[in-house]
Structure 1
Amino acid sequence: MFLSLFAMDELFSPEVSSSFLTSNMKDLTISKSLWLSAGSVVTKLKNSVHMKTMSQENLCPEQIENNNDDDDNLNTETIPASINVRSRELMDNATSNMSSLMNFLKGNIGTGILAMPYAFAQAGLWLGLVGILILGAIATHCMHMLVNCSHKLCERTSSVALDYPDVVECCLRTGPQRLRSTATIFRKVIYVFITFTQFGFCCVYIVFVAQNIKQPIDYFHTKIDIKVYIAITAALLIPYCFISNLKTLSIFSLLANLLTVCGLVITFQYIVQKLPPIDSVAAFKPLSNLPSFFGTAIYSFEGISLVLPIENKMRTPQDFGGWTGILTLGMVIVVCLYTSIGFYGYLQFGCHVAGSITLNLPSQWLYIMVKLLLAIAIFISFGIQFYVPLNLLKPVIGRIESTKIQKIVNFFIRIGLILFLCILALFVPYLELLITLIGAFASSGLALIFPPLIEIVTYSAEGEKLSWIVFMKDIFIILIGVLGFVTGTYTSIADIIHKVQL
């Protein structure tokens, strides 16, 4: 992963968002001959702006200079971003509000929701409830911060749309002078965090599939070590991951979504039946358990990387933000689902709750089928997640002159990455510890630390002023993220070492 950093500027083509739940996004050519109004101001845009969504071509350095030279009469300060450069009327593949909401929910509801009862078990019933609501509110606010800064930077640089790495680089290049030289470095840092997260997701998927297949088979046959199932899962993934067409993968993704919905509905109806008294579980757990709670919870809330790709593809992006927008509605639904599964799951199973609540379901045919359905769903979803680390190496492979050698290299890279992920899963075959580590190390940075930093830098440019209340709020969120990052990473690594040594 780190050996490829020199090629980061070419990585993550328009085909891919970090969650890769939005479909292949075409290059857009928007004519600046379009007349747009902003209040009483009507501005004619002179040049043609060619934008590749999710690529570096829409970043500000050269673009700002060119636009300033050619568009001297263009007053972007008077044109709201949602009306000006973010218009989607000319996009053939723009999505409706409902489609955008479905994509948002699809990207935020995954293996993390099944780990919510474990998160509650680390904090206690009532502390977990309050903690999930607070973290959900902060994560939602950070998503809004990222969207608002994206609007501001689009307006400032006359860009059509920016993704997460673009926003980071653009805010630094147009921010305080002393920070501008760090723009490219921090863009690559974001790529590293996103890539690490994707590798983590892939490992979690492998372990999840292995555990949910092992348990039903163990019920009927002799118990076999989990590592055998991990190896079998990896062997089955090798041919599947040679599917490189996103349209084909999207068909499998639809099937996975249907299986996931069925599995979650059946699981939820079980955990709300014959609930024990509330005082049968701990209301508050020791504060030393909070890092594990934080890591698991923030892993589940790490959907921030797909926020901008979804908004960038909307037909009416002005409906995405705000208190009543798609983002807020989607996060309210997500937080309610997480809270419900976590609260009732922990109340039902108490201290015996597993890293995935499916592992607590009884060995009856209906619930055995649920485990197998969810295992199949996650197995299918692996293809989309695997597309990210594979796409990371595409520019490097593309530099090879011989097409035949390119195919050979691509063949061995796919197998090599699967084997690498399999080795990681074999080394740490503990679902709950993997989720905690990934959440604390990677997700806390993307979801909590970088967005307030972006807001501070964006509004620290010349002529801009950030109120001290907003500044202190951003610092507070950063401190929460850093505290969770340090304590969660340390705790999860220590727990992994302890488990491995046993």
Structure 2
Amino acid sequence: MVERILGPDERYSGNKSRFQIMSKTLAEEEAFDVGKLRKGIRSGILFSIMNLAKGALGGGVLAGHVAYMTAGYLPAIILNVIYGVYMCFNFYILVVSSQRMCRRCHVPFMTYPDVGEAAFALYPNPKVARWSTCYRKWIDVITCLNLFGSCAAYQLMVAKTIKQLAEDTQESIIEGRNGLPNLRAYIAFLIVPFIVICLITEMKYLAPFSIVANVVIGVAIVMTVKYAIKNNPGFENMVVATNFMDVIKFTGMAVFSMSCAGVVIPVENNMKEPHKFGFVLGVGYIFIIGCVFMAAFFGYVAFLDKCESPITMNFPLTMGPKILKGFIAVMIYVTHAVNFFMPFNCVYYYLKPKFKPENQYKMELVFRAIIVIIIALVAIAFPSVDALMGFLGCFCLSNMAFICPNTIYVLVHYDRPGKNKKWLIWRAVLLSAFGVFILFCGSYVSGKDLVSALFMKKPAGGDETTPAPETPAPGA
């Protein structure tokens, strides 16, 4: 007996989604080869692993040492591995859902928002199906917020590096030294250079620089290990553990530094052998977890409670480290443009139809400049790299890496014969529960840090902020 899948005419008649069920039976769905529809040059296993790692190991890996300092090294090491495995599994079921929907709808590939929309739209219950468009837009919103927020953190990293090199001092404060501007002024001065690189409308021009950026990050990690061995060979004076709220702060920063939510489906879409994606994801995350551990743990060993973000801020101000600091600033500058590319295209997808065809390119450039300015204003208002990363990790990535993959998996597989529906739901609830906890509790804790950054004068331990001291009243 062949198990049937409900056809589009049997589903919610008000469904406006462009995705429709084409495989009428499970046998057809299993037999359909999506690879035949995929054209062009495809990546092999090695390049797919490299692309996956590149998507995760951006500027966030350069702040992991502050996360270790925040939580203490013991919970940090344990949670570093747990969160990495947890994200790896969630991304695996997300891609499995994507592959399933491609075979079900007979389309060559889907984006993350596509999978979310299709999962809702093709679900048999009309009350669920009608939310497909809203769910797609929700994924668009959190993706854009995450990547635009990352751009704000990257602008801060570049500004901090240039400020340190200009002042030639190891101590990091918001105010300027020797008559030089404060950090917020540096961010404002850098708006024009950031606009210039973000006016590049073709990703292919940024790709070569992105490869060099990965090499520079590798050099920074090697230098971090070197300084750990040199500064603290006995691993002394390290805090074993702090408190629960600091562990929550660590969670946001750790998730931010290891997540590749924005690239996991595109990597699979561009594979020659998409059925081997599980291997690519597993090997990729072993590498990602290892790199984050190396940079974060040894960064904390080397610099202890003096940790700053990015990690090169802690390197001495001799000629070699200064050159590396400059390269890191350039690398983050390019990474900013790469991160800007996808969320801007998402935003302009909704704006583009509002303009005449002959004005669309001109307006694209205008909106690119406007959004870069908005990002800079956010960085100026909240000049705390770690608070920004913590908030983005808790609010955005709790959705993208934990909650959404499990929601989508249940909707895609719930009415599939042979599935234990109760176990499917309970597993999704258990796996999503942590994401919901981090979404609310973590966002609240990180949000408080962001608010305190408004009044920041001097970092107190990494990038954590303390308010400026009050001026005593006359006669006090």
TM-score normalised by L of structure 1: 0.80
Matches within 5 A, 1:260-271: 260-271=217-228
Q: Which residue of 2 aligns with 1:287?
A: 244
1:372 pairs with one of 313, 326, 346: 326
Deviation at 1:299, TM superposition (A): 0.9
Q: Which residue of 2 aligns with 1:332?
A: 286
3-state SS of 2:168 partner: helix
Q: Which residue of 2 aligns with 1:188?
A: 137
Q: Which residue of 2 aligns with 1:449?
A: 403
Q: Which residue of 2 aligns with 1:43?
A: none
1:163 pairs with one of 107, 111, 134: 111
Q: Which residue of 1 aligns with 2:20?
A: 64
Asked whether 1:202 is paired with 2:151, we answer: yes
2:99 pairs with one of 128, 148, 151: 151
Q: Which residue of 1 aligns with 2:61?
A: 113
Q: Distance in 1 between matches of 2:222 and 2:298?
A: 13
Q: Which residue of 2 aligns with 1:55?
A: none
Q: Which residue of 2 aligns with 1:15?
A: none
Matches within 5 A, 1:220-235: 222=178, 223-235=180-192
Which region of structure 1 is more displaced relative to structure 2, 124-133 or 464-473?
A: 464-473
3-state SS of 2:249 partner: helix
Q: Distance in 1 between matches of 2:409 and 2:362?
A: 45
Identity rate of aligned residues, in percent?
24
Deviation at 1:277, TM superposition (A): 3.6
Deviation at 1:60, TM superposition (A): 10
1:477 pairs with one of 421, 431, 439: 431
- Runs of 5+ in structure 1 lacking a partner? 1-58, 69-73
Amino acid at match of 2:366: F
Which aligned runs of 4 or more in structure 1 are off by greater than 6 angstroms?
none
Amino acid at match of 2:436: V
Asked whether 1:213 is paired with 2:167, we answer: no
Does the aligned pair in 1 maintain the 2:37–2:108 contact within 8 Å?
Answer: no
Deviation at 1:289, TM superposition (A): 1.0
Q: Distance in 2 between matches of 1:466 and 1:141?
A: 19
Q: Deviations over 1:31-79 (max 9, x none)?
A: xxxxxxxxxxxxxxxxxxxxxxxxxxxx9955536x36xxxxx645255
Per the alignment, do residues 316 and 146 of structure 1 end up closer, same or farther by CA in structure 2, a change over 3 Å counting?
A: same
Does the aligned pair in 2 maintain the 1:164–1:308 contact within 8 Å?
Answer: yes
Asked whether 1:320 is paired with 2:277, we answer: yes
3-state SS of 2:259 partner: coil
Q: Deviations over 1:177-236 (max 9, x none)?
A: 031111111011001111111111110110011111111221178353111211122121
Q: Which residue of 1 aligns with 2:27?
A: 77
Q: Which residue of 1 aligns with 2:9?
A: none
- Runs of 5+ in structure 2 lacking a partner? 1-14, 170-176, 456-466, 468-476
The aligned length equals: 433
Asked whether 1:134 is paired with 2:82, we answer: yes
Does the aligned pair in 1 maintain the 2:198–2:340 contact within 8 Å?
Answer: yes
1:236 pairs with one of 178, 193, 212: 193
Two-structure CA RMSD over aligned residues (Å): 2.4
Q: Which residue of 1 aligns with 2:314?
A: 360
Asked whether 1:101 is paired with 2:56, we answer: no
Q: Deviations over 1:109-162 (max 9, x none)?
A: 111111111111121111110011111110011011101112222233333222
Does the aligned pair in 2 maintain the 1:85–1:154 contact within 8 Å?
Answer: no
Q: Distance in 2 between matches of 1:85 and 1:166?
A: 19
Matches within 5 A, 1:407-486: 407-461=361-415, 463=417, 465-466=419-420, 468-486=422-440
Which region of structure 1 is more displaced relative to structure 2, 90-99 or 479-488?
A: 90-99
3-state SS of 2:35 partner: coil
Q: Which residue of 2 aligns with 1:500?
A: 454
